[in-house]
Amino acid sequence: MFYLRLAWTALRSLDAHFLRSLLATLGVLIGVASVVACMSILEGFSDDIARRFRSLGSNLLYIQPEAAFVEGRPVGVAQTLTMEDVRALRRELGTELDTIAPECVGGTSVKYLQNSFPMATVIATSEEYFTMHAFEAQHGQVFTRLQAEDEGAAVVCLGAKIADKLFGGMDPVGQTVKVGDKAYRVVGVMEKKGSLGFLDADETVYMPIEAGLKRYFNRKWLNRITVGVADPTHIDETQARIKRLLRGTHRIRPGEPDDFRVYNQEESLQNFNQLMLIYKIVFYSIAGISLVVGGIGIMNIMLVSVTERTREIGVRMAVGARRGDILLQFLVEALIISLLGGGFGLLLGGMFADLLNKIVVGFFRTQITTVVMATAVATATAVGVLSGLYPAVKASRLDPVEALRYE
């Protein structure tokens, strides 16, 4: 009953200076809304990336070239992975590997007559790429192993969105499209897949690796080699064997660093989590500035309130109020301001997250989890207590006699 009366007294005091209390509440509202919005974005993005990692399978290893350096400065990736490495892996680790897919990646426009898809991803790879990702053709078929090994095979498979954009209701199989400035015959249209790792599979053109390297990319080096391990329980041993084999084929001497890196899904996820930690620190620091500003506003309001109500404090002490009662009264007022701001900030942050879902539809979905809501409430509470602590202590330490004389 005492605490209810205390809260009611605090609400009446805040209502007496409604505009001033509203402005203090707005500071906390904006700060909490920023925290909720940032957390919902990061939670949704992290969950989406983790889901993409899981969708790729637990038996995959990735081989990528290391960064190239000139005079100690990174200038891109080393051009060290080639089809010779792929053939060596197939030859030496044949029984340990289930699938192996070289990848050469680029981007360009794709055209059919007057229709164009301006921002398509181009991947030159082998037929095993589709097997390891459980990716099938909806119309026609994917290119065969013979076509993947033929330098003159001018054929492609189209992602679902590209096929819809270029052909509408027509069957693309057998038609000729221009990828960049070169013509290719369409042999298949892939099923709708959505995200496949970090790319949109439906906005991608797939071509045989040998023809892609010679005819389209005009180079010999690869962006990546993806390996499917036959026995996932031995993935670490296979990873170590791949490193030893590639160090030999690349003629790397003992003590010299690798010009490539081999990593698995778990390592990729760990690297991503470390990157996300940096983003979280940056995002929360920006949101924290808003909360600090809101806290300063509450403290300023409470200090003014203490000065205005000095005589009232003296009267309360004269009729028996203890210093702890005065301290608690002003802390409750600051806490009510911050909780009101926190509640409306949580609502505003949720509305912003929902609006963002409609804007970035197809990329990722923001998530307001229980952790997000609990963090918002805890943050608002902490801001209220910390901001109101000094004014409350100042009020509780007033001398009753001097307070009663105050005009």
Are 281 and 224 members of one domain? Answer: no
Three-class DSSP category at 201: helix
| Domain boundary, last residue among 228, 255, 289 | 228
Query: Does 118 share its domain with 9?
Result: no
Across all residues in the chain, what is the average pLDDT? 79
Q: Are residues 48 and 171 in the same domain?
A: no
Q: Is 69 exposed, middle or buried (0-12, 13-18, 19+ CB in 10 A)?
A: exposed
Query: What is the extent of the structural domain holding 147?
Result: 102-228
pLDDT of 3 over the 90 cut = no
Q: Which residues of 95-105 are buried (b: 16+ CB within 10 A; e: fewer)?
A: ebbbbbbbbbb
Q: What is the DSSP string of 211-264?
A: HIIIIII--SB-SEEEEEES-GGGHHHHHHHHHHHHHHHTTPPTTSPPSEEEEE
Per DSSP, what are the bridge partners of residue 105?
Answer: 123
Residues 282 and 338 in one domain: yes
Domain total of the chain: 2
pLDDT digits (tens, 9 = 90+) for 315-328: 777 777 777 777 77
Question: Does 322 map to a domain?
Answer: yes
Q: How many other β-carbons are positioned within 10 Å of the β-carbon of residue 370?
A: 7
Verify that 117 and 211 share a domain, yes or no: yes
How far, in Å, CA of 89 to CA of 193, rounded?
29
Using DSSP's 3-state secondary structure scheme, residue 121 falls into: strand
User: pTM of whole model > 0.85?
Assistant: no
Calculate ∠ Cα 11-14-20, nearest 5°. Answer: 155
Task: With respect to residue 255, please indicate whether it lies within any of the assigned structural domains.
Answer: no
If you count them, how many residues does the chain have?
407
| Domain shared by 280 and 369, yes or no | yes
Among 284, 342, 360, smallest CA distance to 28 is for 342
Per-residue pLDDT tens over the stretch 180-191: 888 999 999 998
Whether residue 43 sits in one domain with residue 130: no
Quick one: pLDDT band at residue 1, thresholds 50, 70, 90?
Answer: very low
Residue 243: inside a domain, yes or no? Answer: no
- Whether 166 and 278 map to the same domain: the answer is no
Of 166, 196, 228, the one marking the end of a domain is 228
